[in-house]
Amino acid sequence: MKKNLKWNLKNVVFLLAMLNTCLVFGQNPDPKKRIIIDVGHGGHDSGAVGIHGIKEKDIVLTVARNILNLNDIVLNGKLELYMTRYRDTFISLSDRGRLAKALYADVFVSLHCNASLVNSKGMEVYAHNSDNAHLKASTTISLAILNESSKKLGFGIRGVKFSNFQVLRDMSDFCPAVLIELGFVTNWDEASYFLKPTNIKALALAILMGIINYLRI
């Protein structure tokens, strides 16, 4: 209970602080950076199912929608954001990469949730495990997102990891790409965290500000 209260207080303070910085982000003559938010799973593919019956596909869709809304509200539409799915539909892994390339993405961010048979917890971010041209940038984005989530929300951090996930492999030679495991739906505290709209908004804002910090705009 104390931990949940601490999280909630952090979320409220974080949201208020960031909403008060809206005026800092003025008009930018440079073209907007195009960010693809890849919303994991969908349709018949629920992804992980956790405590309280929450489904990964629903959590990541809600987080993604909040990222888009906060980009408009907090950043005055500073980023050009697209989602790979906007509702509960199934999109193949190959089509996710094709869409991002067709839109000429500057950054690709894939949203997922973790699950474990043990009581694991915390956020981790993946980059592709090859020595590609965008590896350094992908690692920098990963660290920026983890830093925002840890400092502003008090999230446990499992670090930057490297893997051969298809969406990362497909984007590895095109643009910086990361896959975020937001937390564990099988962990009681983190599953409970995902159930509250204020928490989801705070998490979305942390991801958004991590991207902004990487882009330095």
Q: What band does 14 get if pLDDT is binned at 50, 70 and 90? A: low
Examine the pLDDT at 19 and tell me if it is beyond 70. no
pLDDT tens digits, 168-188: 999 999 999 999 999 999 999
Cα–Cα dist 120/125, whole Å: 15
Q: What pLDDT was estimated at residue 195?
A: 96
User: Is the pTM higher than 0.85?
Assistant: yes
Total residues found in the chain within this entry: 217
Residue that the structure tokens 């509960």 belong to: 88
Q: Are 33 and 80 in contact (CB under 8 A)?
A: yes
The three-state secondary structure class of 121 is coil
Alpha carbon separation from 202 to 113, 116, 153, 170, 199 (Å, rounded): 16, 24, 8, 30, 5
Residue that the structure tokens 């917890």 belong to: 121
Q: What band does 6 get if pLDDT is binned at 50, 70 and 90? A: low
Cα–Cα dist 198/188, whole Å: 18
Domain ranges of the chain: 32-215
Residue that the structure tokens 């008090």 belong to: 154
Q: Are 127 and 160 in contact (CB under 8 A)?
A: yes
Q: Hey, what are 77's tokens?
A: 């539409």
Q: Hey, what are 26's tokens?
A: 């003025």
Cα–Cα dist 86/123, whole Å: 24
Examine the pLDDT at 24 and tell me if it is beyond 50. no
Measured on CA atoms in the order 105, 106, 112, 116, is the torsion positive or negative? positive
The three-state secondary structure class of 28 is coil
Task: Give Cβ neighbours of residue 182 (< 8 Å, ≥ 6 apart).
Answer: 59, 60, 63, 111, 112, 113, 114, 123, 194, 203
Q: What pLDDT was estimated at residue 154?
A: 85
- Mean pLDDT along residues 70-96: 98
CATH number of the domain at 32-215, out of 3.90.180.10, 3.40.630.40, 3.30.70.20, 3.30.950.10?
3.40.630.40
- Mean pLDDT along residues 69-74: 97
